[in-house]
Structure 1
């Protein structure tokens, strides 16, 4: 392991400690004070406002601390890695908060699914980054860094970090609901779990197929051979972004859990995330079309293949006839 790789790994493990230690101290303090009978204003507020406390911890530990680390390293890579970790931290926070009330089996199912989702996404992150910690930041952040120049130092706080609080806290609201309502299991819990699991499986296979495609093209490029212009096999035959589709299924499956518990309003978080991902999809496709070797093939791919939801491929002949 290189020195930079090791240091980034250490930073990653140390970064969430302020929030973790603060919360553990709070819970321990609560237990030694008769369950909140004589709490100071600070601890009383933490006790009565679990959702607001999660936002405060996120603001200082992620928005501020990660932002400072990003400036020191001149790279905002760490937020991508913690997208795969923060939901796990949140689900345990909601489950262990003193005000939590929930059905034990529903909680176990949701926690287990969140772990499976996190492990899959974390594995995909490191596989994509050649098992390096912080080798590069998201290309969208790099593009914005060039675009905003000397103003990037403060714009990055909002564009990279504060926006993540809105997205992550929002889409994880069902995890809060699951641990705020004690209601017996029913058929809709099975439906929700099935949707979540289907999303995880689809995203895994789609990302694996994409990884194999990128790896093959990298080898062809090293050998000086023509690269394959487009991935249109497997799940990618039926959707231009099956990995995004699988990811969205996961989050909307969590919404079904919350809806079943009488809190359907939590769909707002998943909706905002879906709308943001739709915009990201547009950016990704524009980037594809800028690459000369694949532009023509990708335009045809756009005409014949569903943008997100897997669907039967359109006939190439029919598309050509329509164009003429």
Structure 2
């Protein structure tokens, strides 16, 4: 199938899925469902584009397996939060700012549907890859394993910390969160380099670089870190400011000493 037609069909599916998600949030007043749907839609998009691709079988199989497992894990993790917690503070703030305007929320959900297509561009490059370079495929699998293991570990550590009522209003500094304020985002960004490796040798393999580039831009300046840190400052105040002074923002590194963090 023509890859651009495959992307068009993916967008139509994503638009319908996000419309259903918007209707769900109207009943439950929880916009967080959009994140779970985004992950599920992108994971499904990896499988869809692998099936529609014309490249060699091994890169396409790796795309389908890695994309599906990544999307399923992340979607399930996010769905657990949506199902067991009240609306994320970031989305509650957005809902309040828009005064609950459902037209704006619908547009937001549809914007996420468009982002599924945008972030699926690396999958197009992999699915068209007729080359089989074993070294790059192995490196891609290693990157995928490290990143998914790291992200899932960070998610579990944070969930365990938040489970205890005594930690309410405090900042998680356990495990990976000691070395980065957003280790889950770091490993999410790292994960996209796996598809860059899977696309080596493809006629437009450069397209796979859109994954880590777009993810970094969104995490660093648009919807990831700015929203998360603004919410953390609203709810944790000085404790989070001290965390900001001592702990790297995204790329893991050793935290500063207490004396350095005060400067």
TM class by shorter chain equals 0.7 to 0.9
Deviation at 1:306, TM superposition (A): 0.6
RMSD: 2.8
Q: Distance in 2 between matches of 1:80 and 1:318?
A: 36
Deviation at 1:190, TM superposition (A): 1.8
Name the CA shift for 1:229/1:56 in 2 (closer, same or farther; >3 Å).
closer
Deviation at 1:192, TM superposition (A): 1.9
Give the one of 153, 167, 174 matched to 1:233. 174
Q: Encode CA deviations 1:146-200: one digit per residue, 9 max, x unaligned.
A: 11126x22111222x2221232212222222222232123312222222222110
Name the CA shift for 1:121/1:188 in 2 (closer, same or farther; >3 Å).
same
1:94 aligns with 2:49: yes
Count of residues in correspondence between the two structures: 260
Q: Which residue of the partner structure matches residue 112 of structure 2?
A: 164
Q: Which residue of the partner structure matches residue 5 of structure 2?
A: 49
Contact 1:170 1:270 in 2 (8 A): no
Give the one of 181, 189, 199 matched to 1:248. 189
Rg larger in structure: 1
Deviation at 1:67, TM superposition (A): 3.3
Contact 1:84 1:122 in 2 (8 A): yes
Deviation at 1:75, TM superposition (A): 4.2
Q: Distance in 2 between matches of 1:302 and 1:139?
A: 19
Name the CA shift for 1:244/1:92 in 2 (closer, same or farther; >3 Å).
same
Q: Encode CA deviations 1:11-59: one digit per residue, 9 max, x unaligned.
A: xxxxxxxxxxxxxxxxxxxxxxxxxxxxxxxxxx989822223223333
Contact 2:47 2:67 in 1 (8 A): no
For structure 1, the 5+ residue unaligned runs are 1-44, 222-226
Contact 2:129 2:200 in 1 (8 A): no
Q: Which residue of the partner structure matches residue 69 of structure 2?
A: 116
1:144 aligns with 2:94: yes
Give the one of 6, 10, 14 matched to 1:58. 14
For structure 2, the 5+ residue unaligned runs are none
Q: Which residue of the partner structure matches residue 254 of structure 2?
A: 312
Higher relative contact order (CA 8 A, sep 6+): 2
Q: Which residue of the partner structure matches residue 273 of structure 1?
A: 215
Name the CA shift for 1:125/1:47 in 2 (closer, same or farther; >3 Å).
closer
Name the CA shift for 1:260/1:197 in 2 (closer, same or farther; >3 Å).
farther
Q: Which residue of the partner structure matches residue 81 of structure 2?
A: 128
TM-score, normalization by structure 2: 0.85
